[in-house]
Amino acid sequence: MALWQLYALSVALVSSFVASSSSSFYHTAVAPPQDLQISDPGLLGSLDIEWKPPPNVQAFNECTVKYKFEYRNTGDRDWKVIFTRKLKFRVGFDLSRTAEVKVQTLLEGRCTNDVEVQSDWIYATFQVPLQGKLESEVQNFHCIYHDWEYLKCTWQPSLLAPRGVRYGLYYWYEGLDHAAQCDDYIQDHGINIGCMLQNLSQAEYKDLSICVNGSVAATLLRPLYVTLRLHNLAKPSPPKQLVVSMSASEQLHVAWSPPGGETPPQCLEYEVQLAEDQGEAKATWASVSTQMETALTITRANQSRISCVRVRARTNIFCADQGFWSEWTQECFSVSRKEDKQLFILIPVILSLSSSFIICMLIGQCKKRSPAGKPLHASVGC
């Protein structure tokens, strides 16, 4: 047999094998899951999603059956994705918008020649009945997690809120059996406009679901639903014990202590600001940032006078996606150059010597003018 004939035969055999494998792959199919359902257990946005396996799952005992579960709120750009072998999940949604979920079956193993086979998607949505007009929802809802110790949330009554409205804040996070109500409200003229929540350490790095609703006779008010992450709302107190000194080589040394409270020291970053006066020019601020360190040595590039040094703190990127800066330390330290300090010491000495010389000269003049033999009184002539 000629060489080209052997080559043609081998190509035909390989093509036949590939076609046979492809045929077995394309003939392996899997059905989507069944009975996708969404239920609300009353946890302010955490919904239960469950489904049943596809009807023909028993036929694939040589393969692994998994599910690709995706969810989002209507209006979100991206889906959140979970790969699982479970048949039930509890995930958080914004109940002011429609919840959307979808699931498909994934099949892979010997029965598919180790190629992943995907079923069609099945879909479901959920929407709580929203009462009242959108304008009846509370306004300017805002929360800060102070010193990782307590959460302070505030809001303003809606534009459509009638007199006598009563607002309530409810919250839930994983670990609570049921939604709880705020027991420490902030009031303005008898109306609840805020809430203080203590002992939330178990809720850190979890979804904290909050609902603020209002009630008043004969009027429907729309509730506000939000989901928070405490570590992204943290605001520490200002750093403490700020100490500023200047070395002989014109290096500025700034040191401080971490703020109080329960803020983890390893979760803090700092910003140091210097106000520099350059002659008659207006003071300008220069900033220096540092991660976790509580001391800085700054080499001054000019001979300007440092009129103020201050420090503030914030949760760093290792512990949060974002956070609030603390207030600045209140002290302002005026740090002068070495020659300025020498001048500050010399000027009073020179003034003192000059004053003494002038007084002596005046006393001498008075003595010359005084008649002979008469005493000189301090009250006369001087």
* 92 lies in the same domain as 143: no
Q: Pick left, alpha or beta for residue 43 (phi over 0 → left; psi -120 to 50 → alpha; otherwise beta).
A: alpha
Number of domains in the chain: 3
- pLDDT surpassing 60 at residue 300: yes
Q: Supply the pLDDT for residue 176.
A: 95
* 122 lies in the same domain as 62: yes
In a domain, 288, yes or no: yes
- pLDDT surpassing 80 at residue 353: no
With beta carbons less than 8 A apart as the criterion, state whether 173 and 197 touch.
no
With cut-offs at 50, 70 and 90, classify the pLDDT of residue 24.
very low
In a domain, 45, yes or no: yes
- pLDDT surpassing 80 at residue 360: no
Task: Return the ∠ at Cα 323 (arms to 318 and 329), rounded to 5°.
Answer: 105
* 141 lies in the same domain as 117: no
Last residue of a domain, one of 69, 103, 126: 126
CA–CA separation, 227 and 207 (whole Å):
6
In a domain, 369, yes or no: no
Q: Which of 49-53, 110-114, 157-161, 247-251 has the lowest mean pLDDT?
A: 247-251
Q: Supply the pLDDT for residue 258.
A: 92
CATH of the domain at 256: 2.60.40.10
* 213 lies in the same domain as 247: no
What average pLDDT does range 314-343 have in this prediction?
Answer: 74
Percent of the chain with pLDDT over 90: 53
- pLDDT surpassing 60 at residue 27: no
Q: Supply the pLDDT for residue 25.
A: 42
Containing structural domain, residue 30: 21-126
Which pLDDT tens digit goes with each residue over 191-204? 999 999 999 999 99
Q: Supply the pLDDT for residue 59.
A: 77
* 267 lies in the same domain as 206: no
Mean pLDDT, all residues of the chain: 80
pTM above 0.75, yes or no: no
In a domain, 144, yes or no: yes
Q: End-to-end distance of the chain based on CA atoms, in angstroms?
A: 140
Which pLDDT tens digit goes with each residue over 212-253? 999 888 788 999 999 999 999 999 999 998 888 877 777 888
Q: Supply the pLDDT for residue 350.
A: 32
What average pLDDT does range 104-124 have in this prediction?
Answer: 92
* 334 lies in the same domain as 265: yes
Q: Supply the pLDDT for residue 219.
A: 82
* 157 lies in the same domain as 84: no
* 322 lies in the same domain as 306: yes
* 139 lies in the same domain as 106: no
In a domain, 349, yes or no: no
With cut-offs at 50, 70 and 90, classify the pLDDT of residue 209.
very high
Last residue of a domain, one of 217, 234, 251: 234
Residue type, 297: T
Last residue of a domain, one of 190, 206, 234: 234
Task: Give Cβ neighbours of residue 127 (< 8 Å, ≥ 6 apart).
Answer: 97, 98, 99
In a domain, 74, yes or no: yes
- Torsion of Cα atoms, 345 then 346 then 351 then 356, to 10°: 100
In a domain, 247, yes or no: yes
Which pLDDT tens digit goes with each residue over 148-165? 999 999 999 998 888 889
* 171 lies in the same domain as 242: no
What average pLDDT does range 175-185 have in this prediction?
Answer: 96
In a domain, 15, yes or no: no
What average pLDDT does range 123-143 have in this prediction?
Answer: 93
What average pLDDT does range 113-127 have in this prediction?
Answer: 94
* 327 lies in the same domain as 280: yes
More confident residue, 120 or 302: 120
Q: Supply the pLDDT for residue 29.
A: 84
* 248 lies in the same domain as 289: yes
